[in-house]
Chains A and B, each alone.
Chain A
């Protein structure tokens, strides 16, 4: 008797979203949703304060400040992607739990992966920026 396993079968883990896990995930939906909304509000506030500061300091005349602004914009874009990923995770997980929708659950897992990946990329950018700034200040 041959038993054949497809690639997908090999990944069956026997881990189910039931009982305590389901309750924890419902709470997770609420808090990830709160986090993403706070993230969007913070981005809006930083955009407003950024524009006000740049206008006051006639920011666009200085090359060094232009570089700083470019970095701020990259950071803003990354933050936006991170928050969109988190918001999508929350939305898909909510859908999955409400309808026992396996496909939505898989999408949710994809979004949380993107969230952590983009978060790590942003940390790397911040660390590189801090090191470069430190070295440049040291050379002055």
Chain B
């Protein structure tokens, strides 16, 4: 009986890092968790949007909120919430791109899908990093103000 080490020969002929064995399992599991997080975030975004729609489609509420002394503050608050939603939506899209891409890459040996999934993961951390830097700066300014 000849025992061929299928796939291994080709992959190990180069010294490049490769996604197989436990690495493949772990990347796939990461993709699954990332998708779960993305779905939860999407539901969260939906609930916030729904809450805002309910709040502002009620004439009485709108008149009460926009007619009050704090209406300028309220408009700023709404803009901040919408901006935050857009940022979270961007992060969610990139998480989904990573989750779906890594699954396709591992299951179908698809190098292009792997590239796309890594780009999604990198973009997720770039957005998270920028938001984190801004948040820490704001906190520090607030402390030493």
Contacts and interface: CB of A to CB of B under 8 A. Distances in A.
A102 B19 CA distance: 9
Contact of A14 (B11, B17, B121): B11
Nearest to A4: B3
A41 B20 CA distance: 35
Chain A, interface residues (CB within 8 Å), range: 35 or more
11 contacts: A11-B25, A14-B109, A15-B18, A21-B118, A34-B129, A42-B136, A109-B22, A113-B26, A113-B27, A119-B33, A120-B40
Interface of A: 1-6, 8-9, 11-18, 20-21, 24-25, 27-28, 31-32, 34-35, 38-39, 41-42, 45, 49, 96-97, 100-102, 105-106, 109-110, 112-113, 115-117, 119-120, 123, 127
Interface of B: 1-8, 10-11, 14-27, 29-30, 33-34, 36-37, 40, 105-106, 109-111, 114-115, 118-119, 121-122, 125-126, 128-129, 132-133, 135-136, 139-140, 143
